[in-house]
Amino acid sequence: MNDFILNMEHLGDQFYSKFGIPGVIGSIDGTDIAIVHPKDHEERFFCRKNDHSLNVQPICNADMQIISIGARHGGATHDSFIWSHRSLCAYLNNLSSNEGLRLLEGSEEAFHTDRHVKTRNVIERTIGLLKARFRCLLVHRTLNYEPQVAGLITNACAILHNICNEANVPAEELPRE
């Protein structure tokens, strides 16, 4: 997390120059990664899609690099719960209350909505690219490992995704799920 903290200003500059919203340092979303029926605590991993999964929560920068990933919660876990239990959330909440984060204020609703959609789209594209590169993470595939190992595989895929981005390695296009 120290690298993230040191680069917050740079991250904010990236999002502002690409999408025009000040104060954004990352884009976050959740995605399900299918796993086999776990031996322990099955109820934590049974997701809304009537299957077992991890609820993985990556955060990306404006260049689709994954800067943080949470891959240890079951598919039944709500996104807000996962976020509230990440150390990054506590850090940002503390920063927000002590130093103040720049907030978008005074803009017209349509302008804000347009900018927000463009900014949020970067995480959706990042997740799509991650799954295109590492098809074992696709919804119709299943990682045949216990949740902890499946989380480690997901983390490894995120690291390899970043390496591919740095080297400008293209991914094959996938049909929409």
Q: What residue ranges in 12-141 does DSSP mark as E strands? A: 27-28, 31-34, 53-60, 66-74
Residue with the bigger pLDDT between 104 and 146: it is 146
Residue 171 within any structural domain of the chain: no
**Residue range(s) defining the domain that contains residue 119:** 2-166
pLDDT at 162: 97
- In this prediction, residue 119 carries a pLDDT of 78
d(CA 98, CA 51) in angstroms, rounded, equals 42
Domain membership of residue 121 (yes or no) is: yes
Distance CA 121, CA 155 (A): 21
**Res 114 pLDDT > 80:** no
Is residue 123 included in any domain, yes or no? yes
Rounded mean pLDDT, 12-35 = 88
**Does residue 61 belong to any structural domain of this protein?**
yes
Query: What local confidence, expressed as pLDDT, does residue 127 receive?
Result: 95
Q: Give the residue with greater pLDDT, 171 vs 103.
A: 171
pLDDT in tens, 62-81: 999 999 998 999 999 999 99
More confident residue, 47 or 98: 47
Identify whether 146 is part of a domain.
yes
58-62, 95-99, 105-109, 130-134: segment of lowest average pLDDT: 105-109
Mean pLDDT of 18-39: 89
Instruction: Check residue 173 and give its pLDDT.
Output: 58
- For residue 176, the model assigns a pLDDT of 53
Return the closest-CA partner of residue 64 out of 142, 139, 138, 170. 170
Considering its fold, how many domains does the chain have in total? 1
- 175 domain-assigned: no
What are 42-61's pLDDT values in tens digits?
A: 889 998 888 999 999 999 99
Q: Which amino acid is at 4?
A: F
Which phi-psi region, left, alpha or beta, contains residue 108 (left: φ > 0; alpha: ψ -120 to 50)?
Answer: beta
Q: Rounded mean pLDDT of the chain? A: 84
Judged against a pLDDT cut of 60, whether residue 5 lies above it is answered with no
